[in-house]
Structure 1
């Protein structure tokens, strides 16, 4: 091997720093999407999705034409970026284009912050934004999650925004499931949020949420007028909903590594979309799966993240019996401890 190919100490340090700062990947989907922590480098991308694909479709904001009120739009986006900085939000990435296609904004709400929120008048300046926030406060204030569930803090869902071409494919449900896994990993055993359309309410109920307060749009009147008069077909109420995460769902990360293998290949995994990657391996491994739609079968390949510069699943084969991953070498001078394969596959061979 030529000495010129050897990375410098600075290169090694930069690679290590990049791995440390890399987001936790909560799951990878068969459709070629992954769901991971939302990091600062994607904040502007997230804000664009919210401005162009959320405010014009979300029931309450659309009903009052918030996009006609520039001050309200800017105030909404400003608050959204504050929520992003709490580092509790998630983003869905298309692995082919590396573009963000979905955002789930969340924050941890502790008991003191909750008391502070409802003990003072919140200053908002955009007229339309103020109207929606007043409605949300009326919906949420009667329910004290901390007392109801006996907790000091809970994870609050604020916004789910998905690009139009990625909707109605199950991505929303997967992001909600990852939110639950994220709360469990942080030992937060309650998650809650306001859901303004019937589709989201029914979807969130399938993962265990229950309604604690509900307001009919037709009965929410300011003066003599219904505030939200154009809510769309079937959207009759907004609901404040929550879920108690069972103790068995609280995931404790191992303090010391248990596995040291560069590759782990599994067949007959019997996994399905209800099982997140995080439940199988910690963030030291990149996980690639082919789950079978029917009972049984399935293959999985886990790759040590610190052994490769990058790894990507190849979707040329549609079979649920093959997972093929291409790897880029980490480039360390310790070649004997590094992966030198360009690609690796895990294949389930039928008995017959």
Structure 2
């Protein structure tokens, strides 16, 4: 597939390998078959779809880095709670099966250096998924889910936008030695285009670190709800006492965009009669007026003829 454009976000450049026009030609049902390359970075990294054969390596990256470093995980000492760790990894693997997550891979290898977990959240199964997590949590995971639940319930994405589903970014992580090269930004930009391919109209994520919030802002997302760590108190105690330097709050952020037309809708649009050019339009209007005038004259002649016949008959 040809390169469509060069994106420069967070002062890092990367080429988009699949243009939005090309994406329209990829049937959604074939996503499970195609190893789409969403972007290629100047640091010799490509952004690709996460496939089943890469689940184990992606989960290992989450266990080694995300669970130890993500603000809520670190502040709740989740890595020391084996039950929480296992349940969190099980949940991430469950999300992976939707085939809507992405990985950053070193060119010429299969080594994964970054992962983004994303999926379409449906209004009907949203509560069932959350209930499943609540039933299998550990103590540390409970603290995280409590705050995330508060954010989701306080700002209801479904109700606010009047939609039944949206694309959600659940987690993004990059190996430490590959950070600062725009990989996280490239993963998020690719997730946005994936959401459009899936004909979603809203992108949503809950971002816990200043760095992830910065990337979301640069992508074009807006803050809809913000909860400060110092204000999140349970049983008269601040739950996340040490979120790390520069991290002050959790932000629920969203981005709205037009829904992409389906192939059937595109065909209908193509077949709709286009408006005539101004010159031709005037010509058509004049022709219509002439036709009406001719019909009117014929009608008058017909009336006159009938009147003359009637007079002769009376005589």
The 3-state SS of whatever aligns with 1:114 is helix
Residue 98 of structure 1: how far off its partner (Å): 2.0
Counterpart CA distance in 2 for 1:176 and 1:236 is 22
The 3-state SS of whatever aligns with 1:55 is helix
Distance 1:96 1:118, change over 3 A: closer
CA contact (8 A) 1:101 1:163 kept: yes
The 3-state SS of whatever aligns with 1:122 is helix
CA contact (8 A) 2:134 2:142 kept: no
Distance 1:120 1:185, change over 3 A: closer
Matched, 1:30 2:42: yes
Counterpart CA distance in 2 for 1:119 and 1:81 is 16
- Provide the residue aligned with 2:64 in structure 1: 52
- Provide the residue aligned with 1:211 in structure 2: 223
- Provide the residue aligned with 2:182 in structure 1: 170
- Matches for 1:65-214 after TM superposition, within 5 Å: 65-116=77-128, 122-214=134-226
When normalised by structure 1's length, the TM-score is 0.63
When normalised by structure 2's length, the TM-score is 0.70
Counterpart CA distance in 1 for 2:171 and 2:204 is 12
Residue 127 of structure 1: how far off its partner (Å): 0.7
User: Which deviates more from structure 2 when the two are superposed, residues 154-163 or residues 137-146?
Assistant: 137-146
The 3-state SS of whatever aligns with 1:134 is helix
Residue 28 of structure 1: how far off its partner (Å): 1.3
Distance 1:53 1:253, change over 3 A: farther
- Provide the residue aligned with 2:240 in structure 1: 228
The 3-state SS of whatever aligns with 2:168 is strand
CA contact (8 A) 2:32 2:99 kept: no
- Provide the residue aligned with 1:64 in structure 2: 76
Distance 1:141 1:120, change over 3 A: farther
The 3-state SS of whatever aligns with 1:191 is strand
Counterpart CA distance in 2 for 1:184 and 1:69 is 38
When Rg is computed on C-alpha atoms for both structures, the one with the higher figure is 2
Unaligned runs of 5+ in 2: 1-30, 265-315
- Matches for 1:6-17 after TM superposition, within 5 Å: none
CA contact (8 A) 2:228 2:250 kept: yes
The 3-state SS of whatever aligns with 1:206 is helix
Higher strand share: 1
Residue 75 of structure 1: how far off its partner (Å): 0.5
Q: Per-residue CA shift, 1:189-208, capped at 9, x if unaligned?
A: 11101100111112101111
User: Which deviates more from structure 2 when the two are superposed, residues 112-121 or residues 52-61?
Assistant: 112-121
Distance 1:175 1:237, change over 3 A: same
CA contact (8 A) 2:43 2:181 kept: no
Residue 21 of structure 1: how far off its partner (Å): 2.8
The 3-state SS of whatever aligns with 2:67 is coil
Compute the RMSD of aligned alpha carbons.
Answer: 2.3
- Provide the residue aligned with 1:237 in structure 2: 249
The 3-state SS of whatever aligns with 1:235 is coil
Higher helix share: 2
- Provide the residue aligned with 1:39 in structure 2: 51
Aligned length: 235
Q: Per-residue CA shift, 1:245-299, capped at 9, x if unaligned?
A: 235xx38779xxxxxxxxxxxxxxxxxxxxxxxxxxxxxxxxxxxxxxxxxxxxx
Distance 1:135 1:175, change over 3 A: same
Distance 1:125 1:184, change over 3 A: closer
Unaligned runs of 5+ in 1: 1-18, 255-352
Residue 97 of structure 1: how far off its partner (Å): 3.0
- Provide the residue aligned with 2:289 in structure 1: none
